[in-house]
Amino acid sequence: MRIIACPGQGSQSQGFLIPWIETVQGFHDELVALGDACGKDLVFLGTEADEETIKDTANAQPLIVGASIAAFRSALSTLEISHVVGHSVGEFAAAAIAGVLSDSDAMRLVGIRAQAMAIAAAEQQTSMAAVLGGDSDEVVSQLETMGLHAANFNGAGQIVAAGRKDLIAKLVSEPITGTRCIELKVAGAFHTHFMQSAVEKLREAAATITTSDPKIALVSNQSGQLVAGGKEYLDLMVSQVANPVRWDLCMNTLNLDEAQFIELPPAGALAGLAKRGMNLVSTVALKSPADLEKIGL
């Protein structure tokens, strides 16, 4: 069995698409078409744009989703896949790969999501930080006491806290006992009530989209469970903007015998979590086209 995983925001880096464009036939054309669908020059963003530009939520989310879809269409489309899953915004790439959304609809929606979340993030000074180590229940309890929220349950000893920027700064400088904290390069407190205005804008756009039921087993971030209906999955993706990412539950569901875990570009973070939190035959992080050889391509 092969699991395809689509990464979320923060996984991008300057120039990460250069080797894909230069060496993978069809990748450039796929990326151009995906960029046209969301009104972004994804080729520029993935090759020449500076770190600050691709960190901007309005650019980062379409870039990441476009990179994952383009890599799958150009290099992996003939591969037999048993399951697909995305982390946060990566769910839009997963929805396209599973056939719930067309590629163009996935990109149009992610462009709207990205812009709406960027606007919501600008309304208040908020941030996020990875909390590494400690007892999960204790960490969540301590975050609540501090006025913060557990926004991502990533498993493998990692929870992402979100909330007011001053409270995140205090958490980083005075970590919960038994943990260490790293502030993330994101614009705001995603997957919390701070993003509610973005949910409403995305819901309005999603109402105009036609969905299909998934052709590949598809796992939701909200429950960690398989979702059989396309409309249900889209509804979950919309509400999930202001709800926690339960990647830990996704890994539990996908902890299958004899499975290979393949993370699409920009890869690394999810493969690392899977390696620590799942029982797998192998994990492959497609950081460059050379990594395709690890899955026999």
| 110, 65 contact by CB (below 8 A) | yes
**Residue 83 bears catalytic tag:** no
**What are 126's two structure tokens?**
């908020």
Catalytic entry in 11, 68, 74, 88: 88
**What are 228's two structure tokens?**
């059989």
**Residue 77 bears catalytic tag:** no
Three-class DSSP labels, 94-146: HHHHHCCCCHHHHHHHHHHHHHHHHHHHHHCCEEEEEEECCCHHHHHHHHHHC
Three-class DSSP labels, 143-187: HHHCCCEEEEEEECCEEEEEEEHHHHHHHHHCCCCCCEEEECCCC
Instruction: Give the helix/strand (H/E) hosting 83.
Output: strand 83-86
Q: Assign 4 to helix, strand or coil.
A: strand
Catalytic residues: 88, 191
